[in-house]
Amino acid sequence: MSDPGTVLRAAGLRKNYPSGDRTLEVLRGVDLAIGAGESVSVRGESGSGKSTLLNILAGLDRPDAGELWWDSEPANKLGLGELTARRGRFLGMVFQSYYLIPEIDAAANVLMAARILGGVGAGERDRAAALLKRVGLAERGHHLSSQLSGGERQRVAVARALMNRPAVILADEPTGNLDERTGDEVISLLLEVCAEERAALVLVTHNPTHAKKTGRQLNLIQGVMVGQN
């Protein structure tokens, strides 16, 4: 079981992929424990398995071996429907490519996280408006994503990830499509709002400066987690 105060825990995660006539070992027994409200960065070379690890932590992929707990719940033993419903409440995700819906405005994109869970009322609309204000987009809620800059789109994505008050935010190279200054601003914002919301943050990044801003820094090297994991 997960230890008290630990919101996300993985033990012995392994993941292999076929590659021609051989098997490629991507994760080779990864252990990880994340405390409530903690910020952790994961760095690694291209192909080291960072995105694979994040997909497993999010329940989007299954490990070949190992265990995953969301709070004290064994996530990789949940059925697909239960896993999907639990993910929507427990996790928020921020991606490199934003994944905003272009046909709807910024406020509707933020509300989409609540809509997926079953409905949008006055409380959810107030929450979305407050989050857009917090990320500096109070006046941009009615703009389509095509009318927003890259940094603004990622701020909308941060607000969307926090919409359902998740325990954990998983961020996969969230500054990969941004210039250096805008990327720095987004990382600082992400750390600030996660701290305010008491959401744990797992940040996958290639940027050592961004990694150093988190409370704990880990490295994924040849499928093994190195550091205080």
pLDDT band at 14 (very low <50, low <70, confident <90, very high): very high
Given its phi and psi angles, is residue 94 left (phi above 0), alpha (psi -120 to 50 degrees) or beta? beta
Dist CA 71 CA 60 (whole Å) = 17
Q: What is the mean pLDDT of the chain?
A: 92
DSSP SS3 for 200: strand
Residue 203 structural domain: 37-59+82-216
Which residues, 6+ apart, have CB-to-CB distance to 216 below 8 Å?
Answer: 38, 39, 40, 41, 227, 228
Quote the DSSP letter at residue 144.
B
Contact 17, 24 (CB under 8 A): yes
Question: For position 1, what pLDDT does the model report?
Answer: 44
Question: For position 117, what pLDDT does the model report?
Answer: 87
The crossing angle, in degrees rounded to 10, of helices 150-162 and 106-116 is 30
* CATH of residue 43: 3.40.50.300
3-state helix vs strand vs coil in the chain, percent to 5? 35, 30, 35
Which tens digits make up the pLDDT trace of 137-155?
999 999 999 999 999 999 9
What six digits make up the tokens of 55? 């997909």
Residue 204 lies in a domain: yes
Other CB atoms within 10 A of residue 150 CB: 15
Given its phi and psi angles, is residue 18 left (phi above 0), alpha (psi -120 to 50 degrees) or beta? beta
pLDDT band at 3 (very low <50, low <70, confident <90, very high): low
Which tens digits make up the pLDDT trace of 97-133?
999 999 999 999 999 999 988 889 999 999 999 999 9
Which tens digits make up the pLDDT trace of 17-36?
988 888 889 999 999 999 99
Considering its fold, how many domains does the chain have in total? 1
pLDDT band at 203 (very low <50, low <70, confident <90, very high): very high
